[in-house]
């Protein structure tokens, strides 16, 4: 059994909705999929999305929220390219072309958004941008305003170029990818800086059932989610706003997951919430370039989602 936490009613509704589409439902529910980011740890989630797509559960979702690499994988999922989104992690992203910390201090970014968007999404694993733009199931891309580090859903994603810019914005890691991404008159950085998991946002938007995909195994979540940011993280945020927050991902993911696991959480309300995480760790981090380990993470994510779908709980 994979680490499913929360209300299994969410899975039941998704199973019952197989073969339906928005506007053609037989139930009153609004089902949201929340896809967490985490750099190369997103390989776990990409594997989950591929498994959910093969199981026919993509048709049961009414809206998707994604931050950072989770938004990129969600775009592949929504456009029927979850297979390519999963394959991209070991085949295209676990490489120095994408991540090379030796480029720090040079004119080239240590993490290349050009490689992600131009080389992969417009190249080796082409994303059908027009399908994403016109999708009846909206993708709400979460990014962080560089001015005050508050999270927002990006608006004015009206053209293919807007969508390219939006996915760059949500994946713009402070310092490592270069300057913030300009969009709609503001400067944006990685969505996980302000909101690793947009579960509360999905509930505020009217979702009755929320499936949350988590890119960190249980063993990699911080045990003390109330401790607040560490001294070194606060110092890092002062030097490079947002980078310290990203570095505290284990703690912040744990805090966000409390909304799912605590039935008395004040932000929960009547919603049905279920979180799915990797069944085990393969030992990768946000900046991993070991293609074998990254491929293992995709496989673990796939295995975790398949087991969840097959469970009859």
CB of 108 closer than 8 Å to CB of 96: no
CB of 99 closer than 8 Å to CB of 38: no
The yes-or-no answer on residue 69 being catalytic is no
The residue from 7, 67, 68, 76 that is catalytic is: 68
What pLDDT does 250 receive? 59
pTM exceeds 0.85: yes
What pLDDT does 259 receive? 83
The yes-or-no answer on residue 68 being catalytic is yes
- Torsion angle defined by CA atoms of residues 165, 171, 173 and 179, in that order, rounded to the nearest 10 degrees: 0
Residue the block writes with tokens 């929504």: 78
| pLDDT means over runs of 10, the chain (313 residues) | 80 94 89 95 98 96 97 98 98 98 94 98 98 97 94 97 98 94 96 92 96 88 58 62 63 73 77 94 95 98 95 69
Single out the residue of 164, 237, 154 nearest to residue 188, CA to CA.
154
- Residue range of the domain that includes 145: 4-310
What pLDDT does 311 receive? 82
What pLDDT does 224 receive? 53
Strands 63-67 vs 186-189: parallel, antiparallel or unpaired: unpaired
The residue from 190, 237, 296, 302 that is catalytic is: 190
Rounded CA separation 86/211 (Å): 19
What pLDDT does 1 receive? 41
What pLDDT does 266 receive? 75
Strands 181-183 vs 139-145: parallel, antiparallel or unpaired: unpaired
Residue 11 three-state SS: helix
CATH of the domain at 208: 3.40.1090
Domain count, the chain: 1
Query: Could you give the count of Cα atoms lying within 13 Å of 293 in the half-sphere of its Cβ?
Result: 16
């Amino acid at each position: 059994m994979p680490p499913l936490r929360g209300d299994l009613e969410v899975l039941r509704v998704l199973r019952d909705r197989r073969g339906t589409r928005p506007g053609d439902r037989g139930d009153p529910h609004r089902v949201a999929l929340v896809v967490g980011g985490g750099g190369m740890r997103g390989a776990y989630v990409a594997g989950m999305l591929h498994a959910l797509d093969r199981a026919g559960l993509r048709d049961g979702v009414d809206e998707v929220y994604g931050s950072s690499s989770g938004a990129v994988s969600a775009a592949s999922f929504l456009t029927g390219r979850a297979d390519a989104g999963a394959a991209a992690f070991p085949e295209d992203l676990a490489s120095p072309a994408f991540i090379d910390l030796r480029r720090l201090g040079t004119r080239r970014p240590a993490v290349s958004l050009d490689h992600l968007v131009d080389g992969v999404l417009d190249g080796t694993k082409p994303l059908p941008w027009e399908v994403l733009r016109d999708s009846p199931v909206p993708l709400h891309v979460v990014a962080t305003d560089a001015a005050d580090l508050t999270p927002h859903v990006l608006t004015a994603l009206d053209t293919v170029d807007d969508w390219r810019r939006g996915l760059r914005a949500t994946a713009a890691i402070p310092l490592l990818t270069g300057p913030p991404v300009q969009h709609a008159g503001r400067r944006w950085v990685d969505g996980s800086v302000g909101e690793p998991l947009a579960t509360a946002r999905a509930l505020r938007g009217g979702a009755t059932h929320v499936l949350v995909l988590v890119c960190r195994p249980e063993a990699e979540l911080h045990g003390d989610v109330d401790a607040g940011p560490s001294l070194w993280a606060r110092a890092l945020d002062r030097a490079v706003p947002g980078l310290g927050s990203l570095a505290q991902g284990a703690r912040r993911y744990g805090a966000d997951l409390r909304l799912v696991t605590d039935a008395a959480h004040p932000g929960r309300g009547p919603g049905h919430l279920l979180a799915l995480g990797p069944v085990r760790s393969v030992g990768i981090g946000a900046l991993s370039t070991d293609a074998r380990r990254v491929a293992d993470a995709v496989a673990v994510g796939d295995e975790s989602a398949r087991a969840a779908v097959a469970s009859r709980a």
